[in-house]
Amino acid sequence: MEIIAEGKHFRLVEDSELPEILEYLEQFLPESLKFHQTIRTYLNDRVWQFYFYVTKDWPDNPVCLHFPGCTLTPNDDTYESFGIFCPSNQIECIDLLRTEDVLIDWKKPLYLNFTHKAIVNQIESFYTLDGGTMEKLEGDVYVYNKLPEDLQVDELQSDEVEMRPLTIDNAKVIHDLYPASEVECVAVFEKLIETLPGIGIYRKDTGEIAAWMVHSYYGAMFSMQTKPEFRRKGFGIHLAKNLTKQVIFRGYRPFVVIRPENEASRNLYTKLGFTKAYEMIRVTMKPQLKSPLNDYQPDGNCNENDIETLQRELQDMCSNGFGKSTEEINGGTNGILAAEENSN
C-alpha cells in the first residue's frame, strides 16, 4: 500500500527524527508510556513496520500518530488503525483529527489499540456528534517503579517443569489463546519471540508449553496465559518476576494493562510493586450507517430503471443487516412499480 507523506494536519516523520520525539515524550511519562515505548522498540528492534506522524507545527500542537495502530484489521489496511498520543493538559489539540480526512477515513470503521482514556473521550466528543458509535474495552495501566534488585526471583517448586525462553514454534499456540487475537496477527508474535524477551514454562518430559508471557511491540508485558490444566500452580508470578527483570535489563520500562474486573492480575502485580498510573481504552469506531433512501430524491417521473436501482440498493441494505428479507424488499418495490403502471 502507498504510504502517505502528508495529511491535512500531519506529516510523515523520518526515522532520524524519532530519537528527538522520544526525548520530547519523556517529559509526559508515564501517560506517554505506550507511544514512547512503541518508538523505542521500533528504533531498537524494528519489531513491526510503523509509520509515525506529527503535526505540521509540532510541538506547538503536540499530537503524534502511528499507523497501523495494531497488526491485524479486517481489511489489512495500514491506515485502518492508528496509535495516538497527546498530553492531557493540551487535550483540545485532539480536535485536529476531526478534519484530518487524508490520513484517516472517518467514513469507514477504525480501530484504536489501548489509548489514554482522555484522548478517547476527546475523540468521542466529536465522533458521536457525527453519528458514529464506539465499542470500548477498558484497561488500567500499572507501571513498575522499583529497582530490579527489589524483585526476588525464586526457583520453580515443581521438578516436572522448567522455565526457558519462548521459541517461534510457540507463536501459534500463544496467539490462539491471546484474548485480543482479533487485533494482533500470528506474525507479530513470531517477531516478538524472535527479538524481545519472552518466557515460557514447559513440561520437562514432553516439552509442552504450559504458561508464557511476552514483551509487546508497544512496551507492555502482555499475553500472560496459562493452559487450563496447569493453572493454580503459581506459574504466573514466576513469569512476571523474570520478565520484569529482563525488560528492565533491555532498557525498557515494565508496564501491564489490566482489565478492571481482573482482580487476580491486579493483586499479582501490585504485590510485585506495580502501581496504577492511568486508564486506557481499546476502541472499535463505527461510522453512522447511511441508507440509500436518504439520497433518493423522486422527481415525479419514477421509471423502471429507478425502481431497479432502488431495489438493488435495498437488497444491499438487507445483506448489511438492516433486517428486511429479500422477499419483503421485492414485494415492496414491485408494489411501487405496479402503482406507477396503474397511474399511467
Q: What is the mean pLDDT of residues 140-147?
A: 91
The amino acid at 114: F
Q: What is the mean pLDDT of residues 320-326?
A: 43
Q: What is the mean pLDDT of residues 222-241?
A: 89
**Residue 1 is assigned to a structural domain of this protein:** no
pLDDT of residue 330: 45
Residue 85, Cβ neighbours under 10 Å: how many?
23
pLDDT tens, position by position, 152-172: 777 777 788 999 999 999 999
- Strands 198-203 and 161-165 come out as antiparallel
Residue ending a domain, choose from 286, 304, 324: 286
pLDDT of residue 103: 98
Residue 54 half-sphere exposure toward CB, CA atoms < 13 A: 19
Residue 329 has pLDDT above 70, yes or no: no
- What CATH number does the domain containing 249 carry? 3.40.630.30
Residue 46 half-sphere exposure toward CB, CA atoms < 13 A: 2
Q: What is the mean pLDDT of residues 1-30?
A: 96
pLDDT of residue 269: 95
Confidence of residue 261 (pLDDT cuts 50, 70, 90): very high
Q: Shortest CA distance to 284 belongs to which of 133, 125, 175, 106? A: 133
**Residue 4 is assigned to a structural domain of this protein:** no
Q: What is the mean pLDDT of residues 84-104?
A: 97
In the chain, the number of structural domains is 3
Q: Shortest CA distance to 243 belongs to which of 289, 280, 283, 212? A: 212
pLDDT of residue 119: 98
pLDDT of residue 58: 98
Shared domain for 212 and 324, answered yes or no, is no
Shared domain for 220 and 273, answered yes or no, is yes
